[in-house]
Amino acid sequence: MKYSSWMAVGHEALHDQGKLTVDYLTNTRITQFGLTGYNTWIASTFQPAWTGFDTAFTAWLNPATRTQVLQTALVNAERTFAEAYMKVYNILRTSPLITDMDMENMGLPKHASNERTPAPLPATYPDFTIDTTVIRQLSVHFRDHDHERRAKPAGVHGVEIKWGFGGEVPPADGDKIPNSVFDTRSPYTLTFDGDDRGRVVYFCLRWENTRGDKGPWSEVVGAVVP
């Protein structure tokens, strides 16, 4: 799956690129890069996202453990890492203390390749429908608000999808829904266990641009697991 123009395509290539970045950051003092304000975020979000992707990828490499369940786990872990990777990339490329050689050593484009107009903050929210025709699956089909075409707004990289089980009263907005996934192409499909049939799942979506900036939340919509 293609996440961004600078990001490697394919499980192996993205893992190799991510390892270059993680190893370089691990072996270099964060203070040397002028990133002291991002210490907590890197430790609490980026590093765990990499660990999850690395663990799933390592298991996937073994043919004996390469099941469909593991394939799904790898795809989900890769999405989570790619989202965090885009954010850390934007942090790194804005530090004046990081040289072009540093960027190359991390497997990232040089500063000069990023001198372009920043993507605008998403101003709209996604409209979406939920397909319940397949047993134990809910497929979220999304497009820009008040648009019939599936094209994303200018500068938008993908959509954050919040989902979670609930009761009769829906959550107020996406911030109240526990689970988050990121997708770049409609539809996004969730698969559930048999015990989940008949339970209500609530969804809320918002656009995210190529810099990781997020737009407003859509309305919250519920669907019953078929």
Strand, helix or coil for residue 182: strand
Q: What angle in degrees, to the nearest 10, is found between the helix axes of 11-27 and 47-61?
A: 140
The token pair that represents 18 in the structure block: 């991510």
Q: How far apart are CA 155 and CA 50, in angstroms?
A: 25
The pTM (predicted TM-score) of the whole model is: 0.52
pLDDT value, residue 142: 94
Given a contact cutoff of 8 angstroms between Cβ atoms, the answer to whether 158 and 53 are in contact is no
Would the pLDDT of 77 be above 80?
yes
User: For residue 206, what is the enclosing H or E element?
Assistant: strand 200-209
Place of tokens 């990289």: 157
Which among 123, 122, 113 has a CA at the least distance from the CA of 4? 113
Helices (H), the chain: 11-27, 39-41, 47-61, 68-92, 100-105
Task: Give the C-alpha separation, 126 to 141, whole Å.
Answer: 10
Report the pLDDT averaged over residues 44-60. 91
Mean pLDDT over each residue of the chain, to the nearest integer: 86
pLDDT at 100: 82
The SS3 assignment for 23 reads helix
- Six token digits for residue 122: 């998403």
Average pLDDT of span 52-76: 90
Task: Give all strands of the β-sheet with 200-209 in edge-to-edge order.
Answer: 179-183, 156-166, 200-209, 221-224
What is the reported pLDDT for 35?
A: 61
The model's pLDDT over 87-131, given as tens digits with 9 standing for 90+, comes to 888 878 877 777 888 888 889 887 654 444 567 889 999 999 999
pLDDT class of 10 with cuts at 50, 70, 90: confident
Give the pLDDT of residue 25.
80
The number of beta carbons lying within 10 Å of the beta carbon of residue 119 is 17
Using the predicted structure, report yes or no on whether residue 222 has a pLDDT greater than 70.
yes
Q: Which helix (DSSP H) or strand (DSSP E) does residue 165 occupy?
A: strand 156-166
CA atoms of 108 and 6, how far apart (whole Å)? 7
Q: List pLDDT tens digits, range 150-205.
A: 678 877 888 999 999 998 899 999 999 999 998 888 899 999 999 999 999 999 99
Coil, strand or helix at 56: helix
